[in-house]
Amino acid sequence: MSTVEVRNLELTFYDKNRTNRVLRDISFNVDQGEIVSLLGLSGAGKTSLLRTLNLLQRPDSGQIRINGHEITNLSQKEIQEMRKRIGVVFQHFNLFRNKTVYDNIAFPLGLQKVSRKRIEEKVRKTAGEMNLTDKLTAYPSTLSGGEKQRVAIARAMIVDPDLLLLDEPTSALDPITKLRILNTVNALNQKHHMTIITVTHDMDVVKTLSDKVAYLKKGLLTFFGAPQDFFAGMGHEISLDFDLPEAETGIIRAKNDAQLITVYFWGEKASQPVLWNLSRLHDVQLNIISGNIENLKHGKYGHLECEIRGNSTADFITDLKREVFKVEVRRDV
């Protein structure tokens, strides 16, 4: 269960004529046992940020503290020791091709002074947790994508890490396998309580896994906080970034005499007939144009684009703001 504090990280890549500021003054905190998603488009800096956390990539400046200890000034040997307690899982698995599944999983223990008997115990236990018991003698080339990723996770987990770093762990997998892997990661987090930081460009990962979201855009951390605040606050921007369909529809389809609002629900209120009750109370005509309600990790989150018409729309909106998570007036009459 590690805490991770990042302060003022800077990283610039020099590439022929271009100077690419990959990380710009990045600061955030991760608490013990939290799962944080690093989200953003390709090139936003999320993988670079992840790679600085185990010093695979050295930042140009800034501080990184794991459990309160500054890691940027450690000696090479100390860094190697630190890495033995951090688990890493990559997008393309990176298994050792000429080693069996057993030897891949056992590899980290072989770097420490662990007896052969103890290694076998731990490998069998971890492989069992990941449903790999009957694949132990196989070589990676014979495995499916999901199986390879499970081996990679087993190899990362076998040292009982306090911190797990995942780099787009499901990007190379089909949707069903992806869901299985995400559930596995969640289950591991429930059971072992390790802190997890995962890079992703996939909203499903954000929704099902994350306690916090760190949104990166061109090297800047433009948002850090809970997922429901992220979706409610950044909705428009991420719709544009990720080319999601919601951005333009409401504005195009509303009739001229109607007021356009976006209503955001979070938690138990998402399941209650708030709109129905209030619209009857204030005699407001309500038409839902588009919207979505779905399950985030810690509760239901919904947003609805609505047209409203009537004499008491202002009172309606005032009351509504008290009941729901957030109301945005998109266009006034």
Partner 1 sequence: MFEQLLQASLETLYMLFLSGTLATLFGIPLGIMLYLTHRSNTHKRFYAVLNITVNIFRSVPFIILVLLLIPVTKQVVGTIIGPDAAIFNLTIAAVPFMGRLVENSLKNIPQGIIDSATSLGVNGKQLILRVLLPESLPEQLDNITVLLINLVTFTAIAGAVGAGGLGQLAINYGYYRFQWDMVLYSVVVLVALSQFLQWTGTRLAQRFKH
Tokens, residue 45: 């800096």
Q: How far is the CB of 325 from partner 1 (least distance, A)?
A: 39
Only one of the segments 87-95, 232-240, 243-251, 322-330 lies at the binding site for partner 1 (rule: CB under 8 A); that segment is 87-95
CB nearer partner 1, residue 83 or residue 297 = 83
List the interface residues with partner 1, window 32-71 (CB under 8 A). 54, 56
Stretch that binds partner 1, among 92-100, 253-261, 276-284, 303-311 (CB under 8 A): 92-100
Interacting span for partner 1 (CB under 8 A) from 17-25, 97-105, 210-218, 231-239: 97-105
Q: Is 13 in the site for partner 1 (CB under 8 A)?
A: no
| Nearest-approach distance from CB 94 to partner 1, in angstroms | 4
The smaller minimum CB distance to partner 1, of residues 28 and 107, is found at: 107
Q: Three-class SS string for the chain?
A: CCCEEEEEEEEEEEECCEEEEEEEEEEEEECCCCEEEEEECCCCCHHHHHHHHCCCCCCCEEEEEECCEECCCCCHHHHHHHHCCEEEECCCCCCCCCCCHHHHHHHHHHCCCCCHHHHHHHHHHHHHHCCCHHHCCCCHHHCCHHHHHHHHHHHHHCCCCCEEEEECCCCCCCHHHHHHHHHHHHHHHHHHCCEEEEEECCHHHHHHHCCEEEEEECCEEEEEECHHHHHHHHHHHHHHHCCCCHHHHHHHHCCCCCEEEEEEEEHHHHHCCHHHHHHHHCCCEEEEEEEEEEEECCEEEEEEEEEEECCCHHHHHHHHHHHCCEEEEEECC
Is the separation of the CB atoms in 137 and 124 below 8 Å? Answer: no
* 171 near partner 1, rule: CB under 8 A: no
- Of 95 and 327, CB closest to partner 1: 95
Among 82, 203, 226, 329, binds partner 1 (CB under 8 A): 82
Which amino acid appears at position 113 of this protein?
A: K
Segment contacting partner 1 (CB under 8 A): 60-68, 134-142, 200-208, 250-258?
134-142
Among 77, 113, 117, 322, binds partner 1 (CB under 8 A): 77
Query: Per CB under 8 A, does 139 bind partner 1?
Result: yes
> What track of x and - describes contact with partner 1 for positions 174 through 213 (by CB under 8 A)?
----------------------------------------
Question: Which of these ranges, 3-11, 37-45, 80-88, 226-234, lies near partner 1 under the rule CB under 8 A?
Answer: 80-88
Q: Is residue 73 near partner 1 by the rule CB under 8 A?
A: no
Binding residues for partner 1, rule: CB under 8 A, are 54, 56, 77, 79-84, 86, 88, 90, 92, 94-99, 107-108, 110-111, 139-141, 155, 165
